[in-house]
Amino acid sequence: MSAVVAVEAPLLEVEDLVVEFGPVRAVDGVSFRLPAGPYGLALVGESGSGKTTIARALMRLVPAASGAIRLDGRDVAGLTSSRGLRSYRRDVQIVFQDPTTSLDPRARIGATIAEPIRAHGIVPREDVRSRIASLLAEVSLDPEMAGRYPHQLSGGQRQRVAIARALSVEPRVLVLDEPTSALDVTVQARILELIAELRRERGLAYVLISHNLAVVEQLCEETAVLYLGRIVEHGPTEQILARPAHPYTLALRSAVPEIDLAARRSRIVLPGTVPDPANPPPGCPFHPRCPYAIDRCRAEVPKLRRIDGRTVACHRAEEIVGGHGVASAQRSS
């Protein structure tokens, strides 16, 4: 997907978000803006990168230690009044990775979708049933499914139900947390099509959390790459994937297996593992694993700065995006 990264009048704005679990800073000063839809922003990263914690903070399932989350310019991080929270929860809905555990096993599909419709008074009581039927049709499920239980559905059908439920309250923002990672590949392809279709027809704006760069490329014009709770590179998806400017993005991109052997890139090996977030290294948090690290990286935390149409937190970004310094990196084929 290609588009210019929008900066005007964000629908959802996250500014300098910090989330802490005891001594661990799971999210450390993350900022991004989501414009009105149709628009997709991807948060990409591996285990421990903080992407799911950001999703939880957006849903107000975990508290922010500091920073702001604004919907239409109104800060919701500090919302405590039940009315404010209620309307926020209607505006921002989430779809989780595993539809098997996110649906109540004892409730019929119809009841599962009816619950938020009733709770938020979306339509008059007598219209709830027809509303459920139209939502099921919208996600390409037979309205008859309303009478079934989750265990009678396939994984793909369950994920469609989870999407229908999220849409039932006419949200303005959807948070999609690895929505296809638990699904078979042919099922995944169909769910991705469904998301693209809903995006077109409803003008959806969404934050997509994924470790799959190919999925991200299909659905999001903008991507933020996270490492150890921070954004290390952020900008138009196409640009970031085609020419990474951060060594971590480069390594992540090179580790993606390619079915088309001609498209295979030589891989950049990252030594070691992600550092303990309770005890992050000094300087750039990526330096202990970075093939390009120099003395400056061990001492000075790189700030996000603009380069080549995106922002990147690396002292050597110019060389990396230009393809220089690559020869000095450790490689394997």
Q: Give the residues lining the site for another protein (CB under 8 A).
A: 46-47, 155, 184-189, 192, 211-215, 217-218, 241-242, 251-253, 255-261, 263-264, 267, 269-270, 273, 332
Which is nearer to another protein, 12 or 182 (by Cβ)?
Answer: 182
Which is nearer to another protein, 217 or 319 (by Cβ)?
Answer: 217
Q: Are 160 and 141 spatial neighbours (Cβ–Cβ below 8 Å)?
A: yes
C-alpha dihedral sign at 310, 314, 318, 320: negative
Q: How far is the CB of 324 from another protein (least distance, A)?
A: 23
H runs (alpha helix) in 59-184? 82-91, 99-102, 109-119, 128-138, 155-167
Closest CA to 241 of 44, 54, 50: 44
Which residue type is seen at 275? P
Q: How far is the CB of 279 from another protein (least distance, A)?
A: 16
Closest CA to 239 of 256, 221, 255: 221
Q: Are 238 and 56 spatial neighbours (Cβ–Cβ below 8 Å)?
A: no
Q: How far is the CB of 17 from another protein (least distance, A)?
A: 23
Which is nearer to another protein, 45 or 116 (by Cβ)?
Answer: 45
Which is nearer to another protein, 68 or 255 (by Cβ)?
Answer: 255
Q: How far is CA 111 from CA 70, 119, 121, 131, 148, in A?
A: 32, 12, 15, 12, 10
Q: How far is the CB of 228 from another protein (least distance, A)?
A: 13
